[in-house]
Amino acid sequence: MKELMLGNAAVARGLYEAGCEVVSSYPGTPSTEITEECAKFDEIYCEWAPNEKVAVEVAFGASLAGKRSFAAMKHVGLNVAADPLFTLSYTGVTGGCVIAVADDPAMHSSQNEQDSRHYARASKIPMLEPSDSAEALQFTKLAMELSEKYDTPVLLKMCTRVAHSQSVVETSERVVPEAKTYEKNIQKYVMLPGNAKKRHPVVEQRTLDLIEYAETADINRVEMGDTSLGIITSSTSYQYAKEVFGDKASILKLGMAWPMPVQKIKDFAAKVDRLVVIEELDPFIEEHCRAIGLEVEGKNIFPMIGEFSQNMVAEKLGQTAAEGKKLDDEIPLRPPVMCPGCPHRGLFYTLKKNSCNVMGDIGCYTLGAVAPLNSMDATLCMGASISGLHGFNKALGEAGEKKSVAVIGDSTFMHSGMTGLANIAYNQSNSTVIILDNSITGMTGHQQNPTTGYNIKGEPTGKIDLEALCKAMGIGRVTVVDPYNLKECNKVLKEELAADEPSVIISRRPCVLLKSVKPQPPLRINPSKCSGCKSCMRIGCPSISFKNGVCVVDHTTCVGCGVCQQLCGHKAFEETV
Amino acid sequence: MNKTTNIMIVGVGGQGTLLASKTLGKLLLSEGYDVKVSEVHGMSQRGGSVVTYVRFGEKVYSPIIDKGEADYIVSFEKLEAARWLEYLRPDGRIITNLHETDPMPVITGAMEYPQQLIEKMEALGAEIDAIDALALAEEAGSSKAVNLVLMGRLSKYFDISEDAWMKAIEACVPPKFLELNKKAFALGKK
């Protein structure tokens, strides 16, 4: 059947059709929907793991047991999972094992722009790279086959424009391969040095075998057209090149990012007058071409930064690109902001009021860094708020400890905040850690996590008690506050910063976008009471604006959280019901 | 020659632009076209400027629409229409909601919301169909139905049967909101 399908949904469909039975992932834009879509198939066991390392290890275990397994993550998630990845390359698999990694060129929703293809080369694991939804489905199934045929995990590289674009796919039935029985094999699966030494040559031979496969595989496709220009490309760059040139250029499309063929590329190069590589981010294909002795253009023309587009490809290769007209007015930017009623707002307002140094983390609350709250000093990676705060405080002593905090979400805390807290408890810095517990993984679009009490299907499951956990880890002072209550937040923050021992503040209120959270009626301003002092605007709520000398509440977006009310000295905010 | 038709749907995160693109995608596929719909999820959805690209034709390659390529820009908010104007073709059309949602630099007082945007865009040659989609959505029963009001207005410019539109809407909207959304579509089309 023909369907319009999101690239990520097509990967899930491919997993279903390939008979995959175990999926474990940690959410991360732009990879999240793969796992959410998998969870809709009852035939696949599917879970949110606490982090990507756990997810890959779960997939490894399922593969060892003989089942086809899968894990998905965003590019930076693969950094977390790199440890199991590199040795999984040595052990190989029993059941097929595929790991999807989604890059985010242009950083629509990421903290860096790393190119995951380097992981394939570094870990010596083959990587397939689809360019639309149809290929996402087809390549996922092929990845499972290659995994079993070559006894290797296989990486499936997505990117934002493939993951989050819908295009037409043809679906087919699910076929579960004959079950493999688990057999103990110490030499293959226990990576003691003595065993690993015997596996490494196997890995090197496997890469040679895969290069041979790459020479003839039809996913490395030659589309001959005009031979004055030859383009080697992959992923969405292929789509831009086809859009611009159609058959006015010859194209070698690499569906396999690693390992790359040698002879196939040389043969293609010999047939064209000018050879150009079009690839986003790093010169990965280009360097391979150089290494095999070809003269090639690439990053001398195209940038290493951001996404490409058809106009860019046209301009860089001397074609006419479409143009539009622009207004002379400067259009105010519309950056993402915390939602109206976001529970993080009151807490960040309190941090700003107390001029705290704030070690931030990854989640919606990273938006606490933007105006007017500006309440964040550093954000590095998942979990770094807590470990970073410890280092900051060890370096500065009391000068740090009395005015610095870490802020981290509930899901991020489970992901990799706990180990940092263990370090604080063990090596004793008087650090104040604030867990922003909004009862969900927010930024990626509401995924359950070990603290919410629900699994990926929304069914009740084990629930980790954050207070008990922090206490068990050796933190004596654990306090829970409601971030809608500014007075309480301020009082507790001052107490915990003053304390001469490590402490944890749990700022607890569910995300206002959760279906279980019923919005309160919107507030309205009584214009006769509003003095126009703009005190309420210090919290940066998008529902409040300033018109004709008084504040105005947008009734379509206000959820009546009442934080602004607490800042108004003139009692100008009134309830509408 | 590029025979692909390009529709951009722009707005503010949380306004329901994804439902609009989902409906369009279903509709165009049912009409036998090759279709690509590209959107960005994640951080930008948190009240930021959002854009979805819908492209259809005999064969569509790129999932995105570039500057000077859009046949239609459907805007959920006036300032967003102005922001993306450069993506419109010289003979393209903008369908925009007249509603204003202040972005953060305007809220904080760092900038003013630009005035007379419709007139200025028309002066640059853009065909503009501006409606108070929020008022019509509220008339239909919910401020959240702005997306269907705008889809109704867009439908005037396509030779696609009412029946096909209704089928696409039925496939994308939860049953309990179906009547409301059909009403919003009809009000937008009027």
- Contact status, residue A43 vs residue A13, Cβ threshold 8 Å: no
Rounded to an integer, what distance in angstroms lies between the CA atom of residue A150 and that of residue A559?
55
pLDDT for B43 equals 62
Per CB-CB distance under 8 Å, the chain A contacts of B112 are 332
- Comparing CA positions, the residue from A363, A447, A450 lying closest to residue A38 is A447
Pairing verdict, β B49-57 and A220-223: unpaired
The answer as to whether A492 is a domain residue is: yes
Bridge partners, residue A101, by sequence: A73, A157
pLDDT for A77 equals 98
Retrieve residue A94's tokens: 């029993």
My answer on whether A238 and A164 are in the same domain is no
My answer on whether A542 and A471 are in the same domain is no
My answer on whether A84 and A129 are in the same domain is yes
Average model confidence (pLDDT) across chain A:
97
The per-residue pLDDT string of chain B (190 residues; one tens digit each, 9 = 90 and over) reads 358 999 999 999 888 888 899 999 999 999 999 999 998 776 656 788 999 999 999 999 999 999 999 999 999 999 999 999 999 999 999 999 999 998 989 888 889 999 999 999 999 999 999 999 999 999 999 999 999 999 999 999 999 999 999 999 999 999 999 999 999 999 999 8
Q: Across residues A336-350, what is the average pLDDT?
A: 95
- Comparing CA positions, the residue from A563, A420, A434 lying closest to residue A497 is A434
pLDDT for B1 equals 39
Which of B13, B42, B124 is closest, CB to CB, to A325? B124
DSSP state string for A300-335? TTS-SSS---HHHHHHHTT---------SSPPPP--
Cβ separation A321–B104 shorter than 8 A? no
Interface test with A, best of B67, B79, B116, B118 (most A CBs within 10 A): B67
Range of the domain at B39: 5-189
Cβ separation B47–A337 shorter than 8 A? yes
Look at chain A and report how many structural domains it folds into.
4
Interface test with B, best of A3, A133, A158, A166 (most B CBs within 10 A): A166
Which of A329, A336, A372 is closest, CB to CB, to B13? A336
- Contact status, residue B98 vs residue B42, Cβ threshold 8 Å: no
Q: Across residues A338-355, what is the average pLDDT?
A: 97
CB pairs under 8 A between A and B: 203
* Model confidence at A443: pLDDT above 70: yes
Which residue of chain B is at minimal alpha-carbon distance from A323?
Answer: B68
Pairing verdict, β A544-547 and B5-12: unpaired
Retrieve residue A405's tokens: 């905090």
My answer on whether A263 and A402 are in the same domain is no
Which of A108, A167, A370 is closest, CB to CB, to B40? A108
pLDDT for B18 equals 85
The answer as to whether A334 is a domain residue is: no
Interface test with A, best of B85, B96, B97, B104 (most A CBs within 10 A): B104
Cβ separation B104–A371 shorter than 8 A? yes
My answer on whether A15 and A93 are in the same domain is yes
pLDDT for B3 equals 83
**Nearest-CA distance A342 → chain B (Å):** 11
My answer on whether A198 and A234 are in the same domain is no
Cβ separation B102–A556 shorter than 8 A? no
- Comparing CA positions, the residue from B1, B61, B60 lying closest to residue B28 is B60
Retrieve residue A86's tokens: 């590199």
Cβ separation A331–B143 shorter than 8 A? no
Cβ separation A309–B102 shorter than 8 A? no
pLDDT for B110 equals 87
The answer as to whether A333 is a domain residue is: no
Cβ separation B41–A29 shorter than 8 A? yes
Retrieve residue A423's tokens: 């370090």
Structural element, H or E, at residue A524: strand A523-525
pLDDT for A336 equals 87
**Nearest-CA distance A345 → chain B (Å):** 13
Q: Which of A458, A480, A508 is the last residue of a domain?
A: A508
pLDDT for B46 equals 74
My answer on whether A500 and A537 are in the same domain is no
Residue B120: which CATH number? 3.40.920.10
Cβ separation B61–A444 shorter than 8 A? no
Cβ separation B66–A310 shorter than 8 A? yes
CB-based contact (8 Å) between A311 and chain B?
yes
Q: Which of A316, A336, A366 is the last residue of a domain?
A: A316
My answer on whether A537 and A398 are in the same domain is no
Range of the domain at A148: 2-216
pLDDT for A308 equals 98
**Nearest-CA distance A239 → chain B (Å):** 5
**Nearest-CA distance B105 → chain A (Å):** 6
Residue A369: which CATH number? 3.40.50.970
- The packing angle between helices A384-396 and A418-427, to 10°, is 20
Q: Which of A216, A231, A259 is the last residue of a domain?
A: A216
Assembly ipTM: 0.94
Per CB-CB distance under 8 Å, the chain A contacts of B86 are 324-326
Q: Where are the beta strands (DSSP E) in A438-486?
A: 477-481
My answer on whether A410 and A503 are in the same domain is yes
My answer on whether A153 and A55 are in the same domain is yes
Interface test with B, best of A251, A278, A331 (most B CBs within 10 A): A331
pTM for the whole thing?
0.97
My answer on whether A15 and A99 are in the same domain is yes
My answer on whether A417 and A490 are in the same domain is yes
* pLDDT per residue as tens digits for the range A41-98: 999 999 999 999 999 999 999 999 999 999 999 999 999 999 999 999 999 999 999 9
The answer as to whether A338 is a domain residue is: no
Look at chain B and report how many structural domains it folds into.
1
Q: Is A277 helix (H, G, I), strand (E, B) or coil?
A: strand
* pLDDT per residue as tens digits for the range A222-270: 999 999 999 999 999 999 999 999 999 999 999 999 999 999 999 999 9
Q: Is A474 helix (H, G, I), strand (E, B) or coil?
A: coil
**Nearest-CA distance B159 → chain A (Å):** 21
Cβ separation A364–B46 shorter than 8 A? yes
**Nearest-CA distance B156 → chain A (Å):** 24
Which of A161, A166, A542 is closest, CB to CB, to B47? A542
